């Protein structure tokens, strides 16, 4: 889809505990200091409606959710998010940094839940209004380290899933990255420091010359 604007859309993907939120916060500060107008957001939960959907999806104390219900809730969150936050921000020439987007749906719903990839790709295109990121960072992490980080204070419904579920998601992420080399960059965060990871992210953004 032609976004017909001068904005920039950068997404962050990865398994649980890969450090996406930390890196987005640091990149937001860096770009803002450079004079760019930045919007940091997330899926699910980037809108008022999305916050309610996020609570349903992640709260482990709520009743179990059927897999189709789970999928449709993620898609509903995205449809609202794209129209309410992403497209308006891009139209104003802002840089949008998003914690999870369509690649998460492929990784979790195709890799983790065994839905048809053809179905998920079609639904992603519909729910996202065909808006594709300009650049995606896939922050990879070893399962044991990632889960330990993610569940330090609290474990949500996905973090409570079995290791086999998370292994399938991680494998799918690498497959997505392999099939989208121009858009997606993989960074192993298992042993790197927060500062080192941020330096890599900034250097890649500079190297790709995507900032206007």
Q: What is the pLDDT of residues 166-189, one digit of tens each?
A: 999 999 999 999 999 999 999 999
Tell me the backbone φ, ψ of residue 15, rounded to 5 degrees: -65, 175
**Between 2 and 142, residue with greater pLDDT:** 142
**Cβ(113)–Cβ(71) under 8 Å?**
yes
Q: What is the pLDDT of residues 33-91, one digit of tens each?
A: 999 999 999 999 999 999 999 999 999 999 999 999 999 999 999 999 999 999 999 99
Mean pLDDT value across the chain: 93
Q: What are the structural domain ranges in the chain?
A: 8-208
Q: What is the pLDDT of residues 147-161, one digit of tens each?
A: 888 787 778 888 888
Angle at 118 between CA 45 and CA 188, to 5 degrees: 55
* pLDDT at position 111: 97
**Distance (Å, whole) CA 101 – CA 184:** 13
pLDDT band with cut points at 50, 70 and 90 for residue 1: very low
Q: Is the model's pLDDT at 30 over the cut of 70? A: yes
Torsion of CA 34, 136, 1, 206, to 10 degrees: 40
38-42 sheet: strands from edge to edge: 38-42, 95-99, 8-13, 135-140, 184-188
Q: What is the pLDDT of residues 103-159, one digit of tens each?
A: 999 999 999 999 999 999 999 999 999 999 999 999 999 888 888 887 877 788 888
CB atoms within 10 A of CB 205: 20
**Between 203 and 161, residue with greater pLDDT:** 203
pLDDT band with cut points at 50, 70 and 90 for residue 3: very low
Angle at 111 between CA 50 and CA 145, to 5 degrees: 80
For the domain spanning 8-208, the CATH number is 3.40.50.300
- Comparing C-alpha atoms, which of 130, 140, 136 is closest to residue 190? 140
Any idea what DSSP says for residue 110? I
Long-range contacts of 198-203 (CB under 8 A, 24+ apart): 198/23, 198/26, 198/27, 198/30, 201/23, 201/27, 201/137, 202/27, 202/30
For 1, half-sphere exposure in the C-beta direction (CA atoms, 13 angstrom radius) is 16
For the chain, percent of residues with pLDDT exceeding 90: 81
């Amino acid at each position: 889809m032609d976004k017909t604007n001068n904005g920039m859309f950068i997404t962050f993907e990865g398994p649980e505990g890969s450090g996406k939120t930390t890196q987005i916060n640091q990149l937001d500060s860096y770009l803002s200091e450079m004079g760019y107008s930045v919007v940091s957001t997330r899926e699910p939960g980037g809108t008022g409606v999305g916050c309610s959907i996020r609570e349903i999806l992640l709260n482990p104390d709520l009743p179990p959710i059927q897999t189709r219900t789970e999928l449709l809730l993620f898609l509903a969150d995205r449809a609202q998010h794209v129209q309410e936050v992403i497209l308006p921000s891009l139209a104003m020439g802002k840089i949008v940094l998003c914690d999870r987007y369509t690649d998460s749906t492929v990784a979790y719903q195709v890799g983790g839940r065994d839905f048809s990839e053809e179905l998920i790709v079609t639904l992603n295109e519909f729910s996202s209004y065909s808006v594709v990121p300009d650049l995606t960072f896939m922050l990879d992490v070893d399962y044991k380290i990632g889960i330990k980080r993610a569940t330090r204070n609290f474990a949500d419904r996905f973090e409570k899933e079995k290791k086999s579920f998370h292994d399938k998601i991680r494998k799918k992420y690498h497959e997505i990255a392999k099939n989208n080399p121009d858009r997606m960059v993989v960074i192993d965060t298992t042993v790197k420091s927060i500062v080192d990871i941020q330096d890599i992210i900034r250097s890649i953004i500079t190297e790709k010359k995507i900032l206007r």
